[in-house]
Structure 1
Amino acid sequence: MEADYRSRFRNWERVATVRNSPVRELAGDGELLFTPELVPAMAHPILAQATPEIREAVLVHRLYEYLKFTIDLEQSAVIPVTGHISRGMSGLDLPEGMLLDAFKIVTDEAWHAQFTYELLRDVRNRTRIAPALPDAPTFTGALTRIHEELPSEIRGLDEILFAIVSETLISSLLDELPQDTRLPATVREMVADHAADEAKHHAYFSALLRYLWPAMTRRERELAGPYIPQLIFAFLEPDYPSAALGLRAAGLAGEDVEQIMSDVYGRDRIVADVRRGAAPTIQYFVEAGALEHGATLEAFQESGLIA
């Protein structure tokens, strides 16, 4: 087992951003705070005709949404699972190197949550725009519902499966925001730091799936497998309440917000976007043999994730 695991963390002490990245503070005015092309609502005719102040505020609120999602994801979904792995409490017989690397991931993710919160605070102080966000992002409610629906005998598998899903789905934002020179250097550099660490986490969690799936009994696979598409949608589907709150807080009238939400977030478009974004993770589950089970395959087909 030790020989089968190829650690990506052997030079972690030298390259981890928590050990090497400086503390950065947001500075400068007049710059975009989020890439407009990554906010579908910005292309809607209502927003195209809105004042520059409203359009700028929409981008600020989209940045807040992204930052809050990142904080909650790291602290509520990834760190607890990785902490259990590091202490040998996952229920899996893992190589010792994976336990050691899990400690490093916990440290990385805590740092990501910290510097993300610091950026959120700096944006609020610079723009004087208060965040308009739900108490918790939608994905946390979806995870609670799934956890409560699961048969008691497999409850807990959802948590490790969601960690695998979230850590193997490299967000397009991690790739694209650092490349947008219209954004402040602080935003670009912090997102780039996050992306550099997440590349290693991606490799770790794709390896973890290769240990997890064969270790599950046939019944566990049949019970848990159909929930995987729901976990993928929980991570990738837009947070509609957060998006609507941001549009309203930016100064748009209620009826305009409803129109934008209706026009921009059509179900067919969302499913197509999720399917594209989930392609690498779906392939990992295919390679692990997850879709060889009829109920799991059917769930993926009904969700629209595969043909």
Structure 2
Amino acid sequence: MYLRAFKEQLLSGPVEARPHDGEYISRFERWDALASVRRRPRRDFEGKDPGHFFFPPELYPVVLHPMVASRGEGVVRGLLLQRLYDYLDFTTELENLAVIPVATKISRGRSGLNLPEHMRADAHKIVTDEAWHAQFSDDFARQIATSTGSARLGAENSAGPSFVTRLDELRDQLPHALRGVESLLFGIVSETLISGILSDIPRDDRLPSAVRELVRDHAEDEGRHHVYFRSVLRHLWPALTPSERRDVGPLVPGAIHAFLEPDYDRAAYHLGGIGLSRDEIDQVISESWPAHQVRHDISAAASQLTRYFAEVGALDDVRTRDSFAQAGLVGTVRESEQTGCTPREVTA
């Protein structure tokens, strides 16, 4: 078992047979001086600085719904506290389950890609960064529970963040010979998208200062990770055979949605906790996250990443482009024909 795990690659097949692109510009030369694990202190949550909200309500719109807001500020604050717990838990699980295993494989030369040596060396630093993010998120959640006296609800019965189940579904859609590449794919997706998600929270003065500082520490590291995993994509796509690209490409929108789509089940659990009926929960969720608005928001949040996939030629494949179009991430082929743009130029 352990020998197999040691040898197993994320992308199967002989590495030397994969095309090799030696181009890589590191953003980690000053890692010792910049990484939060090296220079930032442990963030302490203090009850005397609660802030007005624990989490931006605009990012958790169920609390703005009249059926929820009418129950009073205490209920809203309690739900936002649970949303903060979920965010911290999501970060811990994302790092431990999705990013660290991928970065570890890259660092040990078992990604299945023919990567430059200094790119592999930088992956070690990402492992260290992400372990710190997971640790400080878990530690911060424990501090909040002690300070507020309000623990995270439903943790013992939780199936984990929704991306875990969705990744299993993506893996099942791949041919057996390609299973493992979904880990690389989700690493690229999550690490290039998370920096955008984190960008506004540190500037929100309604939040406790310790929350803003914690997210700022995370965001500064993730800016470097974004650049790194964009480079991983530039090495991955040319290394795939045309057949492998046709199998992998249509699954990319599913990976994007797995990361960006709201966790409706967690929201439903918390809404049930304030006494809403099943019908009321369904109404609040559907009206807080209208399908067309979720589709639009995901497209906007993923527009830069979509461009990255276009730049490496992923959208040149018809099935992949159709999958992006059906997910609302790019315009349709007909729209591109009308504008005279190529698939690499058209994004929603």
Map 1:58-69 → 2, pairs under 5 A: 58-69=79-90
1:10 paired with 2:34, answer no
CA distance in 2, matches of 1:119, 1:51: 27
CA distance in 1, matches of 2:136, 2:273: 25
**Aligned residue number for residue 45 of structure 2:** 26
**Aligned residue number for residue 301 of structure 1:** 325
1:87 paired with 2:105, answer no
Which residue of 169, 175, 178 maps to 1:151? Answer: 175
1:218 paired with 2:242, answer yes
Which residue of 126, 148, 151 maps to 1:105? Answer: 126
User: Aligned-pair distance for 1:10?
Assistant: 0.1
CA distance in 2, matches of 1:221, 1:85: 20
Q: Aligned-pair RMSD on alpha carbons?
A: 1.6
Q: Percent identity?
A: 45
How many aligned residue pairs are there?
Answer: 307
Superposed CA offset, 1:186-215 (max 9, x none): 111110000000000000000111111001
Largest Rg, 1 or 2? 2
Which residue of 220, 233, 247 maps to 1:196? Answer: 220
Kept after mapping to 1: 8 A contact 2:253/2:323: yes
**Aligned residue number for residue 238 of structure 1:** 262
Q: Counterpart of 1:62 in structure 2: which amino acid?
A: R
State the SS of the aligned residue for 1:187. Answer: helix
Kept after mapping to 1: 8 A contact 2:22/2:115: no
**TM-score normalised by the chain length of structure 2:** 0.85
Which residue of 300, 303, 312 maps to 1:276? Answer: 300
User: Aligned-pair distance for 1:135?
Assistant: 3.0
Which residue of 137, 158, 165 maps to 1:116? Answer: 137
CA distance in 2, matches of 1:224, 1:3: 23
**Aligned residue number for residue 131 of structure 1:** 152
CA distance in 2, matches of 1:3, 1:300: 29
Kept after mapping to 1: 8 A contact 2:21/2:235: no
Kept after mapping to 1: 8 A contact 2:47/2:148: no
CA distance in 2, matches of 1:25, 1:182: 17
Kept after mapping to 2: 8 A contact 1:169/1:277: yes
Q: Which runs of 4+ in 1 moved over 3 A?
A: 170-173, 250-256
CA distance in 1, matches of 2:209, 2:282: 34
Which is richer in helix? 1
Q: Counterpart of 2:228 in structure 1: which amino acid?
A: Y
